[in-house]
Amino acid sequence: MTILPSPLDTFPSWRAINGQGLFLGADVIGFDDEKNIDMMHHPFVPHQSFALDSYRIEPSLRLVMAKGRIVRDSPPLSQTAQYSRERLEMLPAEYKRFENPHVYKVGISSRLKDLKGRAGSLTQGVRSAS
């Protein structure tokens, strides 16, 4: 198992949306301060990547609590239901079918890939010494 080093408990993720307003079928994990993610890399296959420069990227999560306090009012249930229906419509049909559905992919940003590579290089000496 590969562990990605982080001073945080979690890494934020972004969702890619194509020109027709549909989800790409992949999320990208990166750093909180990354704003222009133009490449997604496979987390375990070093030379496999996908260009995102023609996609709109948006955060996949919204902050609702910070330091134990609510920082955003909850919308009415009807608004949440409508939002969920709209988002489900944005997911292409091949991901929603029950027989042979496409796998929803998760990749890492270039910066996170670099950090993962540096961390792996540091542990190589530790593994070979034991």
Ordered by where they begin, the domains of the chain are: 13-129 (3.20.140.10)
Determine what percent of the chain falls in helix, strand and coil, rounding each to the nearest 5.
30, 25, 50
Residue listed under structure tokens 């549909």? 22
Are 102 and 25 in contact by the 8 Å Cβ rule? The answer is yes
Mean pLDDT for all residues in the chain = 86
Predicted pLDDT of residue 128: 54
pTM reported for the whole predicted model: 0.76
Least confident piece of the model among 16-25, 56-65, 78-87, 96-105 = 56-65
Q: What pLDDT does residue 119 have?
A: 80
pLDDT at res. 1: 44
